[in-house]
Amino acid sequence: MMEKMMQRRNALGLIGSGIVGMVGLTTSAWAQATGDVAPGLAGSERQITIWRDPGCGCCDAYGDYLEEHGFTVTRVDDRDFDKRSVEVGVPAQGIGCHLAEIDGYYVSGLVPVDIIERLLETRPAITGITLPGMPANAPGMAAVKSGTLRTYAFGPEGISIYADE
């Protein structure tokens, strides 16, 4: 009698697990088909290419920082990244220590991950964002961000403050 109850309980457990699995798969397939994906960034949005001076240690540290936050980083040695930056629209006075491209946007300098993620989520009509120079409290320069970092947006409409945090 006890053995029969155990078999029934196991059978019901397997059926229940199957139903839960099917609901999960159906919901996931529906979300992908409708484009209604869970919050967060999709795979292609997590891939970033950085053009940097080959000897720049902060650019390596910044690439590591992005990888720690789930980005796939391709590093490209380019001693002329500053010229490339101006060619894509970064204001000459606003060049950061490297140039990156992610999902159609340019990111110049040591921009914090939360600001990049906001850019990708809101998708403003700009060419990109820049954190000019090499601020000592920026990712890649400091272990922990302290103080305020001012990031600028640039594009066809000109230059404006994008984030002041």
Is the pLDDT reported for residue 15 higher than 60? no
Print burial letters for 72-87: b (CB count within 10 Å at least 16), e (below 16): ebebeebeebbebbee
**Tokens encoding 64:** 């590591």
Is the pLDDT reported for residue 155 higher than 60? yes
Distance, in Å, from the CA atom of 126 to the CA atom of 28, rounded to the nearest integer, reads 32
Taking domain 47-164, whether its CATH number is 3.40.30 is answered by: yes
Q: Single out the residue of 110, 5, 104, 121 nearest to residue 58, CA to CA.
A: 110
Residue 145 binned pLDDT confidence (cut-offs 50, 70, 90) = confident
User: In the chain, what are the domain boundaries?
Assistant: 47-164
Is the pLDDT reported for residue 18 higher than 60? no
Q: What is the pLDDT of residues 46-62, one digit of tens each?
A: 899 999 999 888 899 99
Looking at residue 129, the DSSP 8-state letter turns out to be: E
Residue with tokens 């992610």: 102
Helix (H, G, I), strand (E, B), or coil: what is residue 13?
A: helix
Rounded to the nearest 5°, which phi and psi values hold at 63? -60, -40
Is the pLDDT reported for residue 165 higher than 70? yes
Distance, in Å, from the CA atom of 71 to the CA atom of 48, rounded to the nearest integer, reads 7
Q: Single out the residue of 118, 110, 163, 100 nearest to residue 138, CA to CA.
A: 110
Over residues 74-103, the mean pLDDT reads 96
